[in-house]
Structure 1
Amino acid sequence: MIRLSLLAAGLTLLTTSLSHAAAPPAEGYTNPVTAGYSADFPDPSMIKGRDGWWYAYSTGGPYAKDGHDGDAYKIARSRDLTHWEKVGSVFGADNRPTWADPRSGFWAPDIRYLNGKYVLYFTVPNTTATPGDWDYAIGAATAPTPAGPWTDSGAPVVAPRPAAGGGFEWTIDPAEFTDTDGTRYLYWGSYNGGIHAVRLTADGLRTVGAVTNVARDRFEGPYVVKHGGYYYLFGSSSNCCAGPTTGYAVFAGRSRSPLGPFVDRLGNDLNASRTGGTPVVASNGNRWVGTGHSSMVTDLSGQQWFAYHAVDRTDPFVTNSNGWLLRPMLLDRLDWIDGWPVVNAGAGPSESSKVSPVTTSSAATGDVRVEADITGTGQGVSARGGRVSAVIDNGRLRLTDRFGLSRSVQLPLNVPGTVALEVRGNQATAEFSEDRLGDPLATLQLPVPAGSGSAAPVGGAGNFSVAPLYKPVTRAVPTPRIGHVDSRYSDEFTRGLGAGWTWRNVSPDATVANGALQWKTEANDLTDNNTAAKASLLLRDQPTGNFVVETKLHLDVGTDTVRNYQQAGLLVYLDDENWMRLDHVAGGTGRFIEFGKRMRFTPVGAPSIVTFGGAMIGPPAETTWLRLAHDVVPKTGEHRYRAASSTDGKHWVWGAAWTLPAGTTPRIGLVSQGSSAQTEAQYGKATALFDYFRVTR
């Protein structure tokens, strides 16, 4: 191994390591980070190129808010992750995949660096492989640089997959992952078919062996990383594109195997009818809704950042349209708290941040992160004045301290990549990965002497950087406070309906007996324009200020059968075009807790529309507890309601928040609806049992 000395005493890095470094970005940034470059940047995927730039790729769409300019598949680059510039498009007339239908666009890219090449996985919604339309497939293209030129592999990596009920599965949203044994996997899928995984050949361009279903058809946009010995599957859930009521959100499950089973924090399986999932990011009542389809990058300090798209609920559409949705890219800090990933410690999407990603080298003493790109043996990095080093040594990652104590691990693949060395206190951690995207090929730890000092590349490693090591956030933001029961707004259902209730269309199937409100699901539904005014609603006034409304609900819809769309739960109601509903829903063979919102919205320069969307919360059970926490948004005066659910009344999953306009007077209550003649012919009505309705303050 050859060690390079520093150019002068006291220098903390070689000047050549700064050859690509720009001036440090100003502290703080504003979302969306693609503002000024593109009004639309959905399904983002990022990588740090070996040229020192950060690159991002997205589904095609307009650059301008008026929709006049766009690309089929966008590439952007940045020096600081928060200001982006146009590179161009992946495919043009000269390199378009021949197996893609000439009418087809390209969706949902995933960028990787494999075997010394850049590999871009992509979705083709219409191919020439079958005579039908919407025969979704996944392809791959390779390039010598992140900007291209891109060469298609010549055939689908995952060909169109016929669906059991006819048509084709939604074979979309690819994401590659390489395990520590060198095995490569591809994940993909959506609501028609679920999330699947399959092994890939070493070059990443063909599949090998059987396909495994790893998550239910409640998810799409998979992304897998390894952290702390677990494999984490991220997936987006609910509707991607419902304008200001877009309920898209990201959930996670983890497993000891890359093929699952993946379970959430409370042990609920992501493949079960009552589908699990721990929230990672969801709407929080600010301007951003539809927070989904994520990827991840790591800055030079070691801090991970979550890249995802979102919808501005105040201005969601292309100018003068009421359906052409804009989904720009947001960037927020990803924290790991008690072993689970969460954006901004649970605070949700930010409109602005006080701290920017660390993307340039700077002097660092004490806790430090150094990294460099390597191409051969004897290359790596050192820190703390040479007291600790991490190098590639004849196919092994070797971590050594100044006393000669050393640990090493065999690398499963002989490929170029990046060596990163983090020293925190008396602990050193070395990692080797191909692309810095959460799938390291090897990781080592070693106790090291305390101290500080310079850092340097070793053996001719390139693209070297050094930065103070990030400080992890270890405590989540508080969840809403639960106060004391206010009997004036509550009902234990012990002696009929208590005072304060008002029926909007009395339900003949609702009775109070044995300490519960029993209410069979009716066919009328607030989401149906033909039946909304006929729906039975049980309503009462809500208190002023902060409060939490809670109910305990038993709904006998079972699991795995199709009982569309029997549901029951809590309601916040202004009128038939403006309301929220938190309920246990039977949809397809799945069961879920949905926090839905319906509203009338007037886009800029276009006629008003009525739109509905739903956000998923936690999984239901035979008996499920539901909560809505109300407060007033200080900036806007809007009513904000945040949803939570529980399967035992003790452990709660807090999720998305919706708002209602300032100056309005919402009412709160209960619903039991969404049945259908077809469902009732086979199963009859479902029966909702509400044990109580409590307001705490």
Structure 2
Amino acid sequence: MLPILRSKDLVSWEYAGEVFTPQTKPAWHGGARLWAPDIRYVGGAYHLYYSLASGGIGLATAPTPTGPWTDAGKVLADPASCPTFDIDQAQFTDVDGTHYLYWGSYDTLCVAKMNAEATRVEGPAVQVARGRRMEGGYVVRRDGFYYLFYSDAGCCSGAYSGYQVKVGRSTSPAGPFVDDEGVDLMELTSKGAIVVGANGNRWAGPGHSGFQTDLSGQDWLVYHAISTADPDFPPITGGPSGLTKRPLLIDRLDWIDGWPVVRAGAGPSEGAQPAPVTAFEAGGTFKDGSLAGWRADAGWSIRNDRDAGGYASRTGTGVAYLTSTARTRSADVRAQADLRVGAGTAAGLTFAHLNGNNHVVAWLDKGRRALVTDVVIGGTSRGRQLTALPAGFDFGLWHTVVAELRGTRLNVQVTSDKLGDPVAEQRRDLPRAAARPGSVGAVARGAADADNVGAAKLYTPVTQRVPEPEPGEPLPDFSEEFDGTTIGAAWRWVRGPAPGVGVAGGTLTWPTQNAELHQATNTASVLLRDAPDGDYTVEAKLDFAPTQGNQQAGILLYENDDRYFKMAHSAIPLARGDGAVLKVSEFAKEGERPTTTPPTAVFTAPMFGGPTARTMWLRLSYHHDAANDETEVRAATSRDGERWVRGGVWTLPARDKLKIGLFSMNRAGAVATFDYVRTYRD
């Protein structure tokens, strides 16, 4: 269950073996399936952290990404140290060199410090996030913040998978992490800051993601999603049933106003897209075993080893340059080099390089134990700037120096694996004369090694989200302000009238019922009215304070008891929460799931929207996708009626016309107060 695939362009992939075979699989696994691999480059070796389906986290190490892999045992010494299911781990190294492990599923995420070798958790576990089916957490450090990506809702229910990727950020790797409305990820509510969710095209349940940066500096989200046209595996003879197909996707990740979002909020892509940049404009990888295309001072030659393959190595004393004969066409570039300091005192990345008297350089300086940048114009330094490297930094191991120059602003990072965890970062402004096209290369003081030295045009950031659709003209004939003393004539009951419902003071009050609207149990009352033709949005203002698990109230777009879309303020017990109850924005659909074996006629699944409050505004937006004859419904929630968290899209094959509905159900003891129901043309 841990296959290895490799690619030269992040588009075309080939099979490259397995981490474990039946012969090499460790006995301590107990026959469990393995999943959720997280691979890092730590201490000169590749560390593969993985989960056991039965619970538990293991580590394998290897000298190359394709192995051979050696079992390094369990990572968690005390599986009871955090109230979570011990899977879905991710390692992270901070700027001070401290290693951390994040893990957890159903329904809590935890973090703990690791030992110096990043092989075992040693420190106490700290809870950093909790939410219904929260899992798959990992951290990326950017602009002084730590971003905790995670997924929530269901991963693996075919076209009914409500998985989404969300994020919180903190100024510390141990939290507290908050969403984009400032809600702590430990609060007992659903969270916003949605990175990617279903958008109504073929992809459902996008979630459990990873992070990658291409050679232009553009970030990408790598994640699973489910094709609604082909969501499930057939039964496996002698094996598990009900498995969901979850192919891997990759989409552009934008950072807008300090928050990450896929394709500026457009969601999963469909059809041909611009590919990641995976080739240097100037420079190269030395894989051809020669220095062709390079200008080399004395002492540079090509060597080989098992992991790096061909790389450039310099012997001798003094300073020696190795620079590309090709130059970048743009001054805005992203340059990088894998560097290793041998018997010398420093190895560096040079770019915007005209000659030894005119260039910019970023050194790994062993004597100063620092990242040192220098700008040389006309043979004169315009100022060196130092950033300390972590105390345990090993100059004899490969590290990557990455420099991004945009205008005159320079950002340099030192990292082991370019996965959003730099161990040193430096920003500075350059003189205008230094910001120019030029060569890229490596430079050494004494003996040093360099590999993968090159530069590409720096990506152009996307700074604006795609416009969000806003409701259009009001449709008063399909709206209700509850200004009278009785329910209006446009409304009609299914299994009603519900006990205790009343209209007074401009509101409709409705005590929650001990009744359900769920698969085969359809006992709850539903209040319905006709919906308009064409596309529309229904909005309701709801005051609701559930106190017990499973109490819920909200709005429906209802076809029948077995086909509907529901937007609810719900209370759901927290797994492993010692009785704690989550209050969530629950966007659910119910309908047929014919691909299950044996066939399941009716299936229900939720997505979780933004944070809840006693007074909330709920929206459901209807659209008929004529090309695919599908009903698409998107949900949104707000805590003030102004700022909206727009969630994902559920779809069903179009059949009968939907109706607008209200409900208050599942467990008695709370009261829902509806201030209005308003419908708008879209």
| TM-score (norm. length: structure 2) | 0.85
Structure 1 unaligned segments of length 5 or more: list them. 1-71, 127-135, 676-683
CA–CA separation in structure 1 for the residues paired with 2:213 and 2:465: 21
Q: Is residue 629 of structure 1 aligned with residue 629 of structure 2?
A: no
The aligned counterpart of 2:387 is 409
What is the 5 A alignment of 1:600-619?
600-603=592-595, 607=599, 609-619=601-611
Whether 1:437 and 2:419 are equivalent positions in the alignment is yes
CA offset digits 1:203-250 (Å, max 9, x no partner): 101122211000014310001001111111111000111111100001
Deviations 1:239-266 (A, max 9, x none): 1111111000011111111111111111
Residue matched to 1:490 = 479
Is the Cα–Cα contact under 8 Å of residues 137 and 158 in structure 1 kept in the other structure?
no
Deviations 1:10-37 (A, max 9, x none): xxxxxxxxxxxxxxxxxxxxxxxxxxxx
Matched with 1:549 is 538
Is this contact kept in 1: 2:82–2:127, CA < 8 A?
Answer: no
Structure 2 counterpart of 1:579: 564
Q: Is the 8 A contact 2:519 2:590 kept in 1?
A: no
Establish whether residue 323 from structure 1 lines up as the match of residue 242 from structure 2: yes
| Residue from 476, 479, 482 that aligns with 2:468 | 479
Whether the aligned pair in 1 keeps the contact of 2:74 and 2:120 (CA below 8 Å) is no
Compute the displacement of 1:107 (Å).
1.8
Q: 1:671 to 1:113 in 2, by over 3 A?
A: same
Using the TM superposition, give the Cα deviation of residue 656 of structure 1 relative to its aligned residue in structure 2, in angstroms.
0.7
Is contact 1:399-1:446 (8 Å) kept?
Answer: no
Structure 1 residues 468-520: Cα deviation after superposition (integer angstroms, max 9, x where no partner) = 10000000011121223211110001112234212111112322122111111
Kept after mapping to 1: 8 A contact 2:349/2:362: yes
Matches within 5 A, 1:195-274: 195-218=109-132, 219-274=134-189
Distance 2:77 2:97 in 1: 20
2:433 equivalent to 1:453: no
Please say if 1:566 is aligned against 2:551: yes
Give 3-state SS (helix, strand or coil) of 2:439's partner: coil
Contact 1:315 1:604 (8 Å CA) reproduced = no
Partner of 2:288: none
The corresponding residue for 1:123 is 51
User: 2:14, 2:561 → 1: CA distance?
Assistant: 44
Query: Which residue does 2:512 correspond to in 1?
Result: 521
Following superposition of structure 1 onto structure 2, how do residues 143-162 of structure 1 map, counting pairs within 5 Å? 143-161=62-80
Match of 1:500 among 486, 490, 496: 490
Shift of 1:447: 1.5
User: Which residue number corresponds to residue 365 of structure 2?
Assistant: 393
Q: In 2 relative to 1, CA 215–632 (structure 1 residues): closer, same or farther, beyond 3 Å?
A: same
Partner of 1:351: 270
- State the secondary structure of the residue aligned to 1:276: coil
Match of 2:91 in 1: 176
User: What amino acid does structure 2 have at the position aligned with 1:425?
Assistant: G
- Alignment match, 2:279: 360
Q: Deviations over 1:442-485 (max 9, x none)?
A: 11112123322222233342112321100000000111212232
Percentage of identical aligned residues? 43
Quote the residue 1:680 is aligned against: none
For residues 551-579 of structure 1, the C-alpha deviation after alignment (integer angstroms, 9 at most, x for no partner) is 11111214xxxx22110111011122211
* Cα drift, residue 634 of structure 1: 5.5
Q: Corresponding residue for 1:65?
A: none
Query: How far apart in 2 are the matches of 1:584 and 1:340?
Result: 26
Does the aligned pair in 1 maintain the 2:138–2:150 contact within 8 Å? Answer: yes
Instruction: Tell me the SS of whatever aligns to 2:558.
Output: strand
State how many pairs are aligned: 597
Superposed, 1:38-187 pairs within 5 Å as 72-101=1-30, 103-126=31-54, 136-161=55-80, 169-187=84-102
* 4+ long deviations beyond 4 Å: none
Greater C-alpha Rg: 2
Quick check: 1:490–1:695 contact (8 Å CA) kept in 2?
Answer: yes
| CA gap 1:634/1:359 in 2 versus in 1, 3 angstroms | farther
Q: CA deviation at 1:328?
A: 0.7
Alignment partner of 1:345: what SS? helix
Is residue 263–residue 277 contact of structure 1 (8 Å, CA) maintained in 2?
no
Equivalent position amino acid for 1:213 in 2: Q
Measured against aligned partners, the alpha-carbon deviations of 1:104-163 in whole angstroms (never above 9, x if no partner) come to: 11121111001111001111234xxxxxxxxx2111111100011111113443443288
What is residue 375 of structure 1 aligned with on the other side?
340
Following TM superposition, by how much is the alpha carbon of 1:625 offset from its aligned partner in structure 2, in angstroms?
0.9
Alignment deviations for residues 585-635 of structure 1 (CA, whole Å, 9 cap, x no partner): 100111110111111132399745422111010011111111112223353
What residue in structure 2 maps to residue 671 of structure 1?
663
1:521 positional shift: 1.3
Offset of 1:524 from its aligned partner? 1.9
Higher mean alpha-carbon deviation, 400-409 vs 465-474, is at 400-409
Paired AA for residue 485 in structure 1: P
* Contact 2:519–2:562 under 8 Å retained in 1: no
* Shift in Å, 1:380: 2.9
Q: CA deviation at 1:174?
A: 0.4
Please state how far the C-alpha of 1:528 moved relative to its aligned partner: 4.2
SS at match of 2:279: coil
The 8 Å contact of residues 190 and 608 in structure 2, kept in 1 or not, is answered as: no
* SS of aligned partner of 1:500: coil
In structure 2, the residue matched to 1:639 is 631
Q: 1:116 corresponds to which letter in structure 2?
A: G
Q: 1:163 to 1:366 in 2, by over 3 A?
A: closer
Q: For residue 353 of structure 1, report the CA deviation from its aligned partner.
A: 4.0
Correspondence 1:421 to 2:384: no
Q: Which moved more, 1:469-478 or 1:79-88?
A: 79-88
1:144-194 per-position Cα deviation (integer Å, ceiling 9, x unaligned): 000111111134434432887xxxx411100011111111100000115x1
CA distance in 2, matches of 1:548, 1:217: 28
Q: How does 1:304-343 map to 2 (within 5 A)?
A: 304-319=219-234, 323-343=242-262
Could you tell me which amino acid in structure 2 is paired with residue 484 of structure 1?
E
Amino acid aligned to 2:425: T
- Distance in 2 between residues matched to 1:543 and 1:488, nearest whole Å: 9
In structure 2, the residue corresponding to 1:208 is in which secondary structure?
coil
Check the 8 A contact 1:421/1:430 in 2, yes or no. yes
Offset, 1:325: 1.0
Asked if the contact 1:480/1:629 (under 8 Å) is kept, the reply is no
Q: Counterpart in 2 of 1:512?
A: 503
Matched-pair contact (CA < 8 Å) for 1:332–1:350: yes
Stretch moving more, 396-405 or 265-274: 396-405
